[in-house]
């Protein structure tokens, strides 16, 4: 598998993990959806988020080795955090009355 493809998959996994982990929080879930967050949904979102984090780390380590891969993974997590913050802030800004 090509290096660029591994990088893309790792970035997607990191972003999806951040989305799952943030949606596992009731405040963020209710800002995106109108339904209630059940205990089963919380567990499923947390488990999925953690599994995606491990997959993202595994892909980075496979691509660059242990030391550089873990540093690159932290960089990918930062990109994921920023993307999730922007995603969560987006509907709030449009729902405010001017």
pLDDT at 89: 77
pLDDT at 16: 94
pLDDT at 10: 94
pLDDT at 3: 86
Q: Print pLDDT tens along the chain (98 aa).
A: 688 898 999 999 999 999 999 999 998 888 788 888 899 999 999 999 999 999 999 999 999 999 999 999 999 999 989 988 888 777 655 554 44
End-to-end CA distance of the chain: 50
Question: What are the boundaries of each domain within the chain?
Answer: 3-95
pLDDT at 11: 93
The model's pTM: 0.84
């Amino acid at each position: 598998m090509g290096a660029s493809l591994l990088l893309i998959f790792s970035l997607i996994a990191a972003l999806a993990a951040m989305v799952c982990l943030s949606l596992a929080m009731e405040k963020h879930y209710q800002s995106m959806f109108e339904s209630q967050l059940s205990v089963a949904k919380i567990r499923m979102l947390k488990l999925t988020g953690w599994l995606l984090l491990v997959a993202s780390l595994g892909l980075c380590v496979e691509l660059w080795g242990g030391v550089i891969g873990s540093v690159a993974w932290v960089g990918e997590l930062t990109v994921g955090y920023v993307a999730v913050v922007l995603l969560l802030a987006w509907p709030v800004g449009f729902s405010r009355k001017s």
